Amino acid sequence: MKILNRTLFGAIPATSHAKVVDALGRAIVAGELAEDEVLPGDPVLTARFDVSRTVLREAMKTLAAKGLIRAKSRVGTQVNRRELWNFVDRDVIAWRMQRGVDTEFVRQLSEMRLALEPATAALAARHATSDEIIRLYNIAARMDDRSHTRESFAEVDLEFHLAVAAMSRNPFIRSVSSLVEAALAVSFRISSPALSPERIMQSASTHLRIARVIADHDEEGAAAAMRQVIVEGAERACEALAREGGGAIVIS
């Protein structure tokens, strides 16, 4: 729940390595370090972050693994072009969200979810066991609690969607769960169902419907029910952005 923790709880990096990765990663994704720009040398960066060369090297390896930088012989370490960034990586998604969320970003996340999650729900309906169905019902029931805060509702909602992904029996689907987490974090940061008891009840009801059609092993019904949840969440987020004047909302 790394993205949710950052977005809703304001979690901050704890180690020297994580602090270097976070500072440089945020600067790259925010455009403060431009594409193809050469990063300062090791002496400058070790002094800036007050870390050893070993810590700095490990941080650079982490950023390279995220597709943000590359080492070039006789040039130094350069920022990669945006199309090479790993947008499935939880940190990259979180840094992108910290730049500000607008309707275009909501649309892109929603398109990805619509391409993935209805099919995931259909697979869950195909493969679900009795124990998994009971667990899914229990999660859906926990959503219907009028005392939810924005944070507690988001955690239960994410738990539900991750449970559906696990039921798909497809490891590739489970590996991109960060996209679902990002979409939920954006949605709940901008406009959470927990803002009113009526919206909590409505959201719990739509998720309960997903659980029911999965329990019936109705693949088409599961896909349709999941599609409805995604579309309603995206519409709610876009409406909230429109009320803010249509500009980006900074999430940090």
- 89 vs 60: which has the higher pLDDT: 60
**pLDDT at position 247, please?**
55
Q: Based on the domain organization, do 51 and 135 belong to the same domain? A: no
Tokens of residue 127, six digits:
């493969």
Domain boundary among 32, 54, 84: 84
Q: For 178-203, what is each residue's pLDDT tens digit?
A: 778 877 777 777 777 767 888 889 99
Q: What is the pLDDT of residue 88?
A: 85
135 with 216, same domain: the answer is yes
Determine the pLDDT at residue 7: 52
- Compute the radius of gyration of the chain from its Cα atoms: 20
Same domain, 58 and 106: no
pLDDT, residue 182, reads 77
Q: Assess if residue 198 is contained within a domain.
A: yes
Q: Do the beta carbons of residue 178 and residue 90 sit within 8 Å?
A: yes
Q: Are residues 142 and 74 in the same domain?
A: no
- Is pLDDT at 60 greater than 60 in this prediction? yes
pLDDT of res. 176: 83
Task: Supply the range of the domain harboring residue 59.
Answer: 9-84
Same domain, 46 and 148: no
Do 108 and 56 fall within a single domain?
no
Please check whether residue 72 lies inside any domain of the structure.
yes
User: Domain of 18: which CATH number?
Assistant: 1.10.10.10
CA 23 to chain centre: 19
pLDDT tens-digit map of 151-171: 888 889 999 999 999 999 999
Span 225-235, average pLDDT: 93
**Which CATH number fits the domain that encloses residue 188?**
1.20.120.530
Distances 57 to 20, 50, 62, 165 between C-alpha atoms, Å: 10, 13, 9, 35
Task: Specify if 109 maps to a domain.
Answer: yes
Same domain, yes or no, for 163 and 109?
Answer: yes
Same domain for 179 and 212: yes
Q: Domain for residue 142, yes or no?
A: yes
226 domain residue, yes or no:
yes
| 118-144 pLDDT per residue, tens | 999 999 999 999 999 999 999 999 999
Give dist(CA 84, CA 136) in Å, integer: 37
When pLDDT is cut at 50, 70 and 90, the band that residue 116 belongs to is very high
In a domain? residue 145: yes
Helix (H) or strand (E) holding 78: strand 76-79
Minimum mean pLDDT among 6-20, 42-56, 222-236: which range? 6-20
Residue position matching structure tokens 């409406």: 239
Largest CA distance in the chain: 62
Predicted confidence at residue 2, as pLDDT, reads 56
Assess if residue 89 is contained within a domain.
no
Residue percentage of the chain with pLDDT more than 90:
60
Report pTM. 0.82
pLDDT at 160: 96
The DSSP element (H or E) to which 76 belongs, if any, is strand 76-79
- List for the chain the helix, strand, coil content (%; round to 5): 70, 5, 25
Task: pLDDT band for 90, please (50, 70, 90 cuts).
Answer: confident
Which one is predicted more confidently, 125 or 112?
Answer: 125
- Count of alpha carbons within 13 angstroms of residue 132, beta-carbon side: 21
Domain identity same for 76 and 162: no
Boundary of a domain, candidates 84, 115, 144: 84
- CB within 8 Å of 133: residues ≥ 6 apart: 211, 214, 215
- How many angstroms separate the CA atoms of 230 and 227, rounded? 5
Quick one: 117 and 213 in the same domain?
Answer: yes
| Within a domain: 31 | yes
Residue 221 has a CB neighbour count (10 Å cut-off) of 18
pLDDT score for 1: 53
pLDDT of residue 252: 45
State the total domains in the chain: 2
Same domain as 219, residue 194: yes
Are 105 and 70 contained in the same domain?
no
Buried b or exposed e, range 101-115, using 16+ CB within 10 angstroms: bebebbeebbebbee
